[in-house]
Amino acid sequence: MRPPRVHRLTVADAADRYADMVRAKAATGALAPGTAEVYVRDVLTFAALAGAERVLDDLDGADVDGVLVRFARKPDGRRAGGPAHTGTGARTGARAGVQSAASQARFRRSVSAFFRYAATAGWVQLDPMASVTLRPRERGGLRAERRALTAEQAGGLLDAARELAAAAPRGRADQRTQLRDGLIVLLLVSVGPRVSELTRANVEDFFVNAGVRYWRIFGKGGRTRDVPLPGAVAEVLDAYLASGRRELDRGVEGKALLLSWRGRRLARGDVQGVIDRVLERVEPGRRRGVTPHGLRHTTATHLLAAATDMDAVRRVLGHADLSTLGRYRDELPGELEAAMRVHPLLTGRRTGNGGTRD
């Protein structure tokens, strides 16, 4: 149904009004802050790519097609200048800086939500998304940048992070972030937080209970979860709090756990650069490029592969429903063979007289 009267707003004005609405929903708790940040960033990007001074109602499916193509070719700032990782899933040549399939799908969802709201608000007569001809990329299997690292690859990354944290020098301004970088990778691999949960963490969110270090993570929908940290990770955290963070602190961000070398709270977009720097220290045979979300997949996959209780994994990752784990459970080479070797119905099967059969 068409609105009775269309407000002929420019793309920029419509994007600004939509961004204000999203921020208001986040302020009232109706929308997670991290989700709101993504929506706002995507709609402002859409406005820039579509033409800020154009009238929103004049855009048709072909115009949106053009925006989607331009976004797909837009350099991915998170990976700019990153190392040329070797192994399966490495990006090479012209593909190295473009938007990933996941980013393109997310951008498309954000634009769709924007136009749905625009149609309801009377900014457009018809939703142009209905006539978009470009279709989302078919999955056809797991994307390399989101597939879980193997145990060998994850071990190489963890070893590099521990070595980086242990060897972090003191004094030089450009090297004070090494202890922080090691801590970031250790937290991502061991706990699997969302990148927004990691960058929003404050010093006061980490506490000790019965001699165990815990991280109180503030997740989606206002839910919190207390996750115990492995001992090796807790040691690096304590070292960072005792020295590394103090060297970075400029008194600007009093509560933030992770600080930039300028003393500001670390931004979401900086985390990929941290992972890439640590990956440079991994030997080529164990190195594969990965995103923060790929490390979340890695945590879930290896916890489940080790027969960890599914509900415990759900609580570590902060999911409301067990069914969500299916999206984070990736296949590992050789895991089916390993499972069958220790089949519970065949291994050490007992005979009728109390003995065992080989």
Which amino acids are annotated catalytic? 194, 220, 293, 296, 319, 328
CB 84 within 8 A of CB 96: yes
Distance CA 9, CA 52 (A): 10
H or E element in which residue 207 lies: strand 206-209
CB 284 within 8 A of CB 208: no
Question: Quick one: tokens of 69?
Answer: 């193509």
CB 176 within 8 A of CB 247: yes
Question: Quick one: tokens of 353?
Answer: 């007289």
Distance CA 15, CA 43 (A): 6
H or E element in which residue 43 lies: helix 33-50
Task: Give whole-number Cα distances, 293 to 287, 296, 303, 319, 349, in Å.
Answer: 17, 5, 16, 14, 41
